[in-house]
Amino acid sequence: MNTTFYNILPLPTRKWEENNDTAPCINKSIHLLTDTTKDCHWSDILNATRTAFSNGHFDKVIDQSSLLLYELQTQTVLALTMRAHDWAQKRYYDRELEDAQTMISIAPHHPTGYLLTAHRYASQGLYHNVVELYTKAMDMVPMTHPNYEIILQGKLHAQQKLNYQVDFIANLPYDLVCLVIDYIPQETLAQCTIVSRTWRQKILEYSKCWRTFSIERFQQITPHPLNILPTVSHFIQALSVPHAKPVKYLLKLMAHNKFKNLHSFSITSRGPLVTTKQVNLFYIEKDS
């Protein structure tokens, strides 16, 4: 069967952000996915398939149905590519990874899902994962694909990183690690906790950087602040929350004696106010 590509979605005219180093890869993938002829439309192919099915033209039904499924897969990858890009722009990296891994699942022979996932792993310093992922990609993606060379070069680059990689946080004495942490913003530290178990342990065990905690500052990053709080809550002395939902969660934590050193609690935006008196009631009920 001669595969013909049909254009379903128009080529995006959006200008990609200049500070996004994945933009060239994404832009190239989008152009490849939408580099199709306009001789026919989706509805025409579908109607032709239905007519062939009604007339019992089995070979034509198989050919046309295969074409429809291939085109649907292609357009799904295109939509996921654009959505994954914008998740990354909003710093929802976990959702970006979900979309990229969905691409790998539904289109294992297409490189875009591998490239996006590998880029996110590399940004977290997970070069072992990058090498493993690119090895899988080289087995699945056809060598004739225009992005195959990018996969090959990406694997070589990740292997070089592994050969020369030095994890200073893991190897430095803990007192020196603390000196480094003192110069890093709290939001950045929270993101660093997902790099590795060693980083997470050393960062979350340093009490000085968690004495003041504002959930509002963490709204647009991964991991979510409520995932960090159970570990650092006993260090927190001043806590502020932006709205009602996390307030209920935090009060529940207080009732279970998580915030042992808390001296200040405040609401910074909309939602039912929770007073210090209400907070104290939780401790009174707990003690009784």
Helices (H), 141-275: 148-164, 168-171, 174-181, 186-192, 197-204, 225-232, 244-255
Percent of the chain with pLDDT over 90: 21
Angle (nearest 5°) at CA 138 between 137 and 141: 70
DSSP, collapsed to helix, strand or coil, labels residue 265 as strand
**pLDDT on residue 270:** 53
Is the distance from CB of 211 to CB of 236 less than 8 angstroms? Answer: yes
The pLDDT tens digits of the residues spanning 240-287 come to 777 655 556 666 666 665 778 888 877 765 544 444 444 454 444 444
| CA pair distance 67, 2, nearest whole angstrom | 9
> Which neighbouring-strand residues pair with 37?
6
The pLDDT tens digits of the residues spanning 158-170 come to 998 888 767 788 8
- Asked which of 16-25, 94-103, 221-230 is least confident by mean pLDDT, the reply is 16-25
| CA pair distance 26, 78, nearest whole angstrom | 10
> Cα-Cα-Cα-Cα dihedral of 253, 256, 258, 261, to 10°?
110
pTM listed for this prediction: 0.50
Most confident of 7-11, 16-20, 242-246: 242-246
Where are the strands (E) in 25-142, listed by range?
Answer: none
Provide the 10 A C-beta neighbour count for residue 162: 12
Residues with Cβ < 8 Å from 29, sequence gap 6 or more? 81, 111, 112, 115, 147
Does domain 23-164 correspond to CATH entry 1.25.40.10? yes
Would you list the domain boundaries of the chain? 23-164, 170-287
Please tell me what DSSP assigns to residue 243: S
**pLDDT on residue 104:** 94
User: Is pLDDT of 102 > 60?
Assistant: yes
